[in-house]
Amino acid sequence: MNELSRCPFCEVVAAKSTLIARPYWHKKNGCLLSGQHFTEEEWQTRPLEDALQKRIDELEAEIDRVAPFLAIHGVTGYKIVEEK
């Protein structure tokens, strides 16, 4: 099993439940997901976070690609990495 993700709303980690079909539950009160039970797949599925992380990775790669051009033109603050 991969490390469990944290709740996207309150950052708590899901607790183990006694329900076999949905073995994780949001034990902490005061959250939108409080008291709900989940399968591991349901708890770990984060399509928005995954899409945002993919876009962050793309933009970081783009910064790495353009950093040498920016440096030539006097723009500093970007780390220049070697071409792969």
- Positions touching Zn ion (CB under 5 A) are 7, 9-10, 31, 33
Nearer to Zn ion, 49 or 62 (CB): 49
Report in angstroms how near the CB of residue 49 gets to Zn ion at its nearest.
14
Dihedral sign, CA of 66, 67, 71, 75?
positive
Q: Which is nearer to Zn ion, 16 or 54 (CB)?
A: 16
Of 47 and 77, nearer to Zn ion (C-beta) is 47
Helix (H) or strand (E) segment spanning residue 37: strand 37-38
Least distance in angstroms from the C-beta of 62 to Zn ion: 33
CB of 7 to Zn ion, least distance (A): 3
CB count within 10 Å of CB 43 equals 22
14: amino acid identity, one letter: A
